[in-house]
Structure 1
């Protein structure tokens, strides 16, 4: 939705089957739409490079508008009109359920079965699925079954972010009968009724339930945002009589609050490594670059017992942007139909890297930055261009962490320090979704935090453990995943060096470490 100042004549833009659509919506109580509506849409088609252009109206076009539309069509610029009678016919002829273009995978059915069982037995359930494994699909299936088994019931879906809430409501449409209404509840939208499914931000939902509305089922998306206190905790307390379940890909919190105290032990879970081994996530070729390590620090780490913050400051030398660009260029040329995201240190760094990339290679001339300093309209337009392949590379800081679906991404670069295990997994997950023609995800990690090494090594060990398992975990035709260091000798040493630091991946900055002796450094 791009309506507003600077919309260039469009109200909606969309991507379908690799085509850009642009819509101009005209509601009128005083007659037909005039030529200005057609001109607005043609201006929007040019601005957004649209393949399809549609005027949507409850009435129709007047004579001047039809003449203008015919003139444009005569030179190959077709504009479709969805008028009142057509919209009414579409609504009446629409099947009660959206025909499914996909079937639930076996583990998704199993997860939904177990959640329904836990809700029936304990009124609580928790789903932990790695990014890309379809936690929203499972959540939608649970809601579908609950509504089917309890006609007339009220369902609440709450999340922390408005963009995510709008995405969740759309995702539910493919699960629900069209007779089940869905309502958005945010600062911009209010429900038109109290029945069906309400999908809202936690702040708006809290005000709604304080006013007396009560759901029969509550789903909390991105459940790791639930703390011991706060808005989510208050919401769940007020709705304590309702069945409640949470879904998340990253159950860890910085304050160490255990979300299982709210929802019970995980009803069903599948990790990144398990998803890769089963062929449900893209294989990953993960390369850590450690040529910026100060090996003198490795020699002295055991002796001095650095804190994590001190160790990172001393251990990692500054990595020059030019070196990163050279490494990225090598990977780009080795990747089929590359589509890349680079996670940068700051907004300024993201803007600088996008400009550097655009001038470094003809293939990157459309490189762009995406960050929280841009308005929502700008972000949506850029994401559509990225999905269409018109923007080959996006540099960003953290706007891709949650709620953005970009399955075509097959190249990721980490150019920043990430102290949070949760953020690391979320960002890695942006490229793990399967997509037609996508062979694997290539990851370039210009590591600047020892915790990142620990996280990557943990992923490597899990993948190796699963591949050696006697269970038939590689039954699908799927390339093997691998996690490697650019310097194999350094990788072996680091693997030995942090082997006994079991909690290193989630340790806080002030934790003081005693590593094993780093023999063989000389």
Structure 2
């Protein structure tokens, strides 16, 4: 019986007969659901199958633009690999819009046909692999909501090529396919005529009049969920007799409306709203009129030639109101409520002049990006009163913004060869312009008409690209800081009215401009700042009746700063390379129907950038430290970095041994502690703070509080938390806290004395440690490190001693498999001890690795690793026999894999494995001098399949 058939039988036994079966292979039947809490959706399964299939068939009644957008980059990668597919869809109920058929025609590797079967309503996906096929059949059409959000039921089945069910599916598909109409432009034109005749006629909207908006009408407009929470936060600050507050809210989440709601609540006698660009004055004024109601004469503009300063509600540009002659005419108590839009600019002299002049009863600042690179302390200006904060990910989750599909694409490719775009001539070359046009056409946009913004590097590039695009029939204009406000507004109006396809600019539209109709943002420059990246992305995130989603196309060159892209998209400020890699591997942090997609080469460039980036450079850490210090208004501790999603505390203690060392490196004047006390702090920071096991954290927290703890009480505490309390685990904890586990070098580093004394009664802090408890600064630093350890330990909670898919070093593995000593330096690729055998695999070896250790370990599938022992080993070697007979001997084999040495010392834990004894083979490998060395190879069957995203990351050769 073939191995595949055996796996299929085990899979169906588990799925259809015995749910308690131990088999966890990838072929077991599954019910596919969309479940945000469990990070599950149907789309992930479709993409996993697409990545590895040899061909595919879709039979779906309904297809939406956003649904197809979720797959476009994957379909393009398949095209580049020569993989083709077929899509069968329909005209049922004329649901499918003509534009989606035009988008389907762009797929070079997909044949599309249209069935005219009455009531065509199928939703099925078939993926052909070698010798087997996967079927996903159920309720999900090819729409973003059906694949990611809606409550759907889909069954996933795997069939051998000889299976009757698969044969029946394919026969049904082929019967319909052979009688269906091939998709052509001519067919689409005919369909569009009929489709348009069936659409309800739209009634033109009349412009709203604000000459008099009744208050009762205004009061019918209610805040959204974000605004409700923000208003409560502002009110809470006022109730504390504070007179200023700051709102941090992502672009497009309704900050102006929020301000108007608060003004509606407070009802000030006079209000001043300050903006830095004239374009948004009228819009802000209209928003306030709509929410506050009353007569238009209550609302005035102070800008340029308009001097309506006597109105109840004044909307002013900072440029006008900050003039000395203007301020001299205005009493300091004239306004009892002042709002500053884009308040991160408040460090400028003009803003400071205004703030110093007026004395309002309440000052409210609003910004999407409070972090500054100019050293100005925005948080101090608002007395560190952050009333509410909502960033991009939360705003998407709350459905405040339009979903987006981000595509990271390769910048330039000529004759199949990737080129680096470095000179001006390359930036505006015909080849690059052609490349840009191909990508903006392929990835397209929501709605029939593109309204796009392109961001490039220089004014010269913007103007030259605009000329090229216009010559090619794409209507564009270049706008830079040299253009007057009137010119900018005129061109924005043209874009909104459909007279332009794109505005090409450098950075003048990063903020302070409101063009909700934008449905495509194109980034043609390298990412130098995650703040600017989000500002530019945010230009298209406002909701608008004409669009369902935003398309973002980012042309990724061979830039050193590419690592900033996943940082910007995820909001991950940890400076932890592993955390940033995971944001590339798993993009589930983006909520709703938004997706993040990278073409293969673009993805490779980002991984390479992460590998080479120096994220622990002291300047980077110092900037983050100063930003956090400004935010909280005091010297930060490790817990502050953790609680505010700033630098990962493990990065800090990797750079400096403990927080005290780090604060001293930041030139802070902090109290010193004795050398041995600092060594204890270093031990806790290095060995306990990562949080990979809770036992040591619980013991040390208790001892810091009371100095001693009985063993029975300690065990009761562990049991109450569901933690293992076997003798081996308890002895391991005692050896670690007593420093017996460590090498001589580590013991010296940690003070050469036990941190915890063990006796028959229980545990006590070492004598000096108890003395140090009288020093409040020492206790604060220890409790700070243990607080972070406790928080971090939540991610490592597991039934076993190790958490699958978390990362561990060889030293960690010695610890958490309860070995007596740290033997990581002599562990090499594997070692059997204490009925455990950890196996460590570096999947991609460097080119200069010595041949005798260049093992060809490789995944055969997400649950089978083909593995090699050390060289000069035979099937009769005792260490090999122990592994082969591990199941019989009760030896637990644990598999750890990292992609390459650039990842550092940590490996992904893939779980336990069982050797396939039938696969064991003694073979030869090349030695140092060309000699042939014996080596044993075998298949290791993982108890649980590797998650597809991790598997793809490890398995794909992106070097």
TM-score tier (shorter): 0.5 to 0.7
Distance apart, 1:482 and its partner CA: 1.2
1:330 to 1:316, Cα distance in 2 relative to 1, 3 A: closer
Q: Is residue 584 of structure 2 the alignment partner of residue 457 of structure 1?
A: no
Q: Is residue 387 of structure 2 the alignment partner of residue 236 of structure 1?
A: no
Q: Is the 8 A contact 2:396 2:403 kept in 1?
A: yes
What SS class does the counterpart of residue 223 from structure 2 fall into? coil
1:458 to 1:373, Cα distance in 2 relative to 1, 3 A: closer
- For 1:97 and 1:107, locate their aligned partners in 2 and report how far apart those are by CA, in whole Å: 23
Deviations along 1:298-339, whole A, 9 cap, x unmatched?
A: xxxxxxxxxxxxxxxxx9744533325414423323324332
What SS class does the counterpart of residue 173 from structure 1 fall into? helix
Q: Is residue 505 of structure 2 the alignment partner of residue 396 of structure 1?
A: yes
Give the 5 Å matches for 1:52-71: none
**What TM-score do you get using the length of structure 2 for normalisation?**
0.37
1:467 to 1:486, Cα distance in 2 relative to 1, 3 A: closer
Distance apart, 1:344 and its partner CA: 2.1
- For 1:231 and 1:426, locate their aligned partners in 2 and report how far apart those are by CA, in whole Å: 23
What residue is the counterpart of 1:25 in the other structure?
Answer: none
What SS class does the counterpart of residue 386 from structure 2 fall into? coil
Distance apart, 1:262 and its partner CA: 1.0
What SS class does the counterpart of residue 369 from structure 1 fall into? strand
- For 2:223 and 2:386, locate their aligned partners in 1 and report how far apart those are by CA, in whole Å: 20
Deviations along 1:136-191, whole A, 9 cap, x unmatched?
A: 111111122221xx4xx111112233333344223322122224712222232212
- For 2:622 and 2:341, locate their aligned partners in 1 and report how far apart those are by CA, in whole Å: 23
Distance apart, 1:268 and its partner CA: 0.5
Select which of 435, 445, 464 maps to 2:555.
445
Select which of 194, 197, 201 maps to 2:313.
197
Distance apart, 1:505 and its partner CA: 11
- For 1:334 and 1:236, locate their aligned partners in 2 and report how far apart those are by CA, in whole Å: 46
- For 1:460 and 1:445, locate their aligned partners in 2 and report how far apart those are by CA, in whole Å: 18
Deviates more, 1:206-215 or 1:494-503: 494-503
What SS class does the counterpart of residue 294 from structure 2 fall into? coil
What residue is the counterpart of 2:224 in the other structure?
Answer: 105
Distance apart, 1:374 and its partner CA: 3.3
- For 1:403 and 1:389, locate their aligned partners in 2 and report how far apart those are by CA, in whole Å: 22
Q: Is the 8 A contact 2:407 2:553 kept in 1?
A: yes
- For 2:219 and 2:489, locate their aligned partners in 1 and report how far apart those are by CA, in whole Å: 26
- For 2:587 and 2:227, locate their aligned partners in 1 and report how far apart those are by CA, in whole Å: 22
What residue is the counterpart of 2:266 in the other structure?
Answer: 146
- For 1:118 and 1:507, locate their aligned partners in 2 and report how far apart those are by CA, in whole Å: 29
What residue is the counterpart of 2:524 in the other structure?
Answer: 415
Q: Is residue 385 of structure 2 the alignment partner of residue 275 of structure 1?
A: no
Q: Is residue 294 of structure 2 the alignment partner of residue 174 of structure 1?
A: no
Give the 5 Å matches for 1:10-159: 91=211, 95-96=214-215, 103-121=222-240, 122-147=242-267, 150=268, 153-159=269-275
What residue is the counterpart of 2:305 in the other structure?
Answer: 188
- For 1:486 and 1:205, locate their aligned partners in 2 and report how far apart those are by CA, in whole Å: 52
- For 1:426 and 1:184, locate their aligned partners in 2 and report how far apart those are by CA, in whole Å: 27
What residue is the counterpart of 1:251 in the other structure?
Answer: 370
- Consecutive unaligned residues of structure 2, counting only runs of 5 or more, are 1-208, 414-419, 573-579, 625-654, 656-899, 904-956
Deviations along 1:40-64, whole A, 9 cap, x unmatched?
A: xxxxxxxxxxxxxxxxxxxxxxxxx
Deviations along 1:101-158, whole A, 9 cap, x unmatched?
A: 96531111211221133234211111011111111111111122221xx4xx111112
Q: Is the 8 A contact 1:440 1:479 kept in 2?
A: no
Distance apart, 1:219 and its partner CA: 0.7
Q: Is the 8 A contact 2:338 2:360 kept in 1?
A: no
- For 1:507 and 1:447, locate their aligned partners in 2 and report how far apart those are by CA, in whole Å: 26
Select which of 345, 357, 366 maps to 2:469.
357
Q: Is residue 462 of structure 2 the alignment partner of residue 368 of structure 1?
A: no
**Rg larger in 1 or in 2?**
2
Q: Is residue 458 of structure 2 the alignment partner of residue 346 of structure 1?
A: yes
**What TM-score do you get using the length of structure 1 for normalisation?**
0.65
Q: Is residue 603 of structure 2 the alignment partner of residue 493 of structure 1?
A: no
- For 1:387 and 1:163, locate their aligned partners in 2 and report how far apart those are by CA, in whole Å: 14
Q: Is the 8 A contact 1:371 1:396 kept in 2?
A: yes
Distance apart, 1:454 and its partner CA: 1.4
Q: Is the 8 A contact 1:316 1:449 kept in 2?
A: no
- For 2:443 and 2:622, locate their aligned partners in 1 and report how far apart those are by CA, in whole Å: 33
Q: Is the 8 A contact 1:254 1:420 kept in 2?
A: no
- For 1:97 and 1:350, locate their aligned partners in 2 and report how far apart those are by CA, in whole Å: 49
- For 1:169 and 1:411, locate their aligned partners in 2 and report how far apart those are by CA, in whole Å: 28
- For 2:327 and 2:250, locate their aligned partners in 1 and report how far apart those are by CA, in whole Å: 31
- For 2:288 and 2:621, locate their aligned partners in 1 and report how far apart those are by CA, in whole Å: 35
- For 1:100 and 1:358, locate their aligned partners in 2 and report how far apart those are by CA, in whole Å: 48
- For 1:459 and 1:221, locate their aligned partners in 2 and report how far apart those are by CA, in whole Å: 24
Q: Is the 8 A contact 2:558 2:605 kept in 1?
A: no
What SS class does the counterpart of residue 267 from structure 1 fall into? strand
Q: Is the 8 A contact 1:277 1:467 kept in 2?
A: no
Distance apart, 1:357 and its partner CA: 1.2
Q: Is the 8 A contact 1:370 1:395 kept in 2?
A: yes
- For 1:483 and 1:386, locate their aligned partners in 2 and report how far apart those are by CA, in whole Å: 27
Select which of 412, 427, 448 maps to 1:320.
427
What residue is the counterpart of 1:260 in the other structure?
Answer: 379
Q: Is the 8 A contact 1:219 1:245 kept in 2?
A: yes
Deviations along 1:218-260, whole A, 9 cap, x unmatched?
A: 1111101111x62322322332453111001111222122211
1:239 to 1:222, Cα distance in 2 relative to 1, 3 A: same
1:389 to 1:237, Cα distance in 2 relative to 1, 3 A: same
- For 1:329 and 1:441, locate their aligned partners in 2 and report how far apart those are by CA, in whole Å: 14
1:415 to 1:161, Cα distance in 2 relative to 1, 3 A: same
What SS class does the counterpart of residue 291 from structure 2 fall into? coil
Give the 5 Å matches for 1:291-310: none
1:105 to 1:467, Cα distance in 2 relative to 1, 3 A: farther
Distance apart, 1:386 and its partner CA: 1.0
1:256 to 1:399, Cα distance in 2 relative to 1, 3 A: same
Q: Is the 8 A contact 1:416 1:448 kept in 2?
A: no
1:521 to 1:107, Cα distance in 2 relative to 1, 3 A: closer
1:141 to 1:259, Cα distance in 2 relative to 1, 3 A: same
Q: Is the 8 A contact 1:97 1:175 kept in 2?
A: no
What SS class does the counterpart of residue 398 from structure 1 fall into? coil
Q: Is the 8 A contact 2:560 2:609 kept in 1?
A: no
The count of aligned residue pairs is 392
1:325 to 1:123, Cα distance in 2 relative to 1, 3 A: farther
Distance apart, 1:429 and its partner CA: 0.6
Q: Is the 8 A contact 2:440 2:553 kept in 1?
A: no
Distance apart, 1:418 and its partner CA: 5.6
1:494 to 1:420, Cα distance in 2 relative to 1, 3 A: closer
Q: Is the 8 A contact 1:216 1:242 kept in 2?
A: yes
- Consecutive unaligned residues of structure 1, counting only runs of 5 or more, are 1-86, 294-314, 509-514
- For 1:137 and 1:182, locate their aligned partners in 2 and report how far apart those are by CA, in whole Å: 15
Distance apart, 1:399 and its partner CA: 2.8
Q: Is the 8 A contact 1:344 1:395 kept in 2?
A: yes
